Amino acid sequence: MNRVNSSSVLKTREMTKIGMLSVIAFILTYLQFPIAFVAPSFMQVDISDLPVLIGAFTMGPVYGIIIAAFKNILALIFKGTMTAGVGELSNFIVSSAFAVTASLVYRNKRTYKGAILSLIVGVLSMTALAMISNYFVVFPLYGKVMPMEAIIEMGRAITPRINGLFSMMIYSVLPFNLIKGFTTSAVMMLVYKRISPIFKN
């Protein structure tokens, strides 16, 4: 009986942690800012991946995936979507890749240098996946809402090197995701030691 009660308490605690981090991640999606020298105005930077990373680092990579999923579900419910959910699906995949890759690396090397290395690897994997999902899914979908040439023109206004979808990925999506990833990583390094004991099992 005690084992059953302990298991129930553990599950309740885990659900509470997941809920807290998911809500915080969702709230952080509202705190956005543009990077006018890199990306068009419809691409906004936020640090909503921070709670996803915290969950993955403290509880395991699967929890990071769950938190990333709930973050985007909440965004769909309360903020709506202009991409028929494809943008949110892309965010879920990219956010999960960031958290899972970084947490797996950190699990094998739980040191300060290991944390830095894990976040760098996570950012690089996230950026690579973001370019793939944006090139094949997200931007083509945006092209059905807004003419693709208009989207490319917005990129060209930032840099004349952008003359098509592929160059948009190289000169806009690539640096945008690197900046977003390393910004989130910097905040993670600042707050992780202070708040991680709250979420560790």
Query: What is the pTM (predicted TM-score) of this model?
Result: 0.86
Query: What pairs with residue 33 in β-bridges?
Result: 45
Say if residue 1's pLDDT is above 50.
no
Instruction: Let me know: does 99 contact 137? Beta carbons within 8 Å.
Output: no
pLDDT in tens, 106-165: 988 888 888 999 999 999 999 999 999 889 988 888 888 778 888 899 889 988 999 999
The listed CATH number (3.40.50.970, 1.10.1760.20, 2.40.50.100, 1.20.1050.10) that belongs to domain 2-29+41-199: 1.10.1760.20
Mean pLDDT of 159-174: 93
* C-alpha angle 57-63-64 in degrees, rounded to nearest 5: 65
pLDDT confidence of residue 180: 94
Residue 48 vs residue 109, higher pLDDT: 48
Close Cβ partners of 27 (under 8 Å, ≥ 6 residues apart): none
Residue 14 vs residue 122, higher pLDDT: 122
> CA-CA distances (angstroms) from residue 36 to 147, 161, 170, 172, 195?
21, 16, 16, 10, 32
Compute the distance between CA of residue 162 and CA of residue 153 in angstroms, rounded to an integer. 8
Say if residue 58's pLDDT is above 50.
yes
CB-based burial label for 59 (10 Å; 0-12, 13-18, 19+): buried
| All structural domains of the chain with their residue ranges | 2-29+41-199
